[in-house]
Chain A
Amino acid sequence: DAGVIQSPRHEVTEMGQEVTLRCKPISGHDYLFWYRQTMMRGLELLIYFNNNVPIDDSGMPEDRFSAKMPNASFSTLKIQPSEPRDSAVYFCASSLGGKNIQYFGAGTRLSVL
């Protein structure tokens, strides 16, 4: 298996633009997690899905952030409009079962100018 695949690896955009981050989980995994990592706040859970259904989005910072999982093999995290404080590395992870090992993608490094 190729592991969790995220795209793009790097994204540079200007404030106010829409940003879409993509994730393909490991085939057969039923949980998908989106995290954000910054030096100041560490690794924060934004939202997670079980069988494509959002379970907990309490970590989503504000309405500018939205996440979808239209099917078991694809998820998106969208920021609209983006702001400089959204600059971070965003990780997607998947797992088989909720309390088990999570497999992380390589991350998307987002820079909002």
Chain B
Amino acid sequence: SQQGEEDPQALSIQEGENATMNCSYKTSINNLQWYRQNSGRGLVHLILIRSNEREKHSGRLRVTLDTSKKSSSLLITASRAADTASYFCATDGFGNEKLTFGTGTRLTIIP
């Protein structure tokens, strides 16, 4: 299985601080995506990074990808209370369209 594992499982920080979450996966990938899930809601796509990319930005989000280490990180800068949610990485492999989701990081922003 190429299921990703997020680290840490839970993270609590003060509003305004930066939050960093990591994802590791097991096999070669085509793309890696990050999703956010607010409590009681569906997942919402944040950012997609392709296997030939090393870094990508979107607003306050910065994603890095290291295919040699089979890992990715998501950085949220200047965190806000509204960023409180669970964050999941998801990978897809070559030859199929399935996404395999990681176990998630539960982020709590303390006002």
Contacts and interface: CB of A to CB of B under 8 A. Distances in A.
Interface of A: 4, 31, 33, 42-43, 45, 48, 50, 55-56, 91, 93, 98-107
Contacts of A107: 41-42
Interface of B: 30-31, 33, 41-45, 48, 88, 92, 96-104
Contacts of A4: 42
A101 B42 contact: no
A50 B30 CA distance: 19
A42 B101 contact: yes
A100 B109 CA distance: 29
Contacts of B92: 99
Given A98-B97, A99-B97, A101-B33, A43 B88 contact: yes
Nearest to A44: B101
A88 to B, nearest CB: 14
B42 A55 contact: no
Nearest to B45: A101
Contact of A99 (B30, B41, B42, B45): B30
A104 B43 CA distance: 6
A91 B45 contact: no
Nearest to A41: B103
Contacts of A93: 42-43
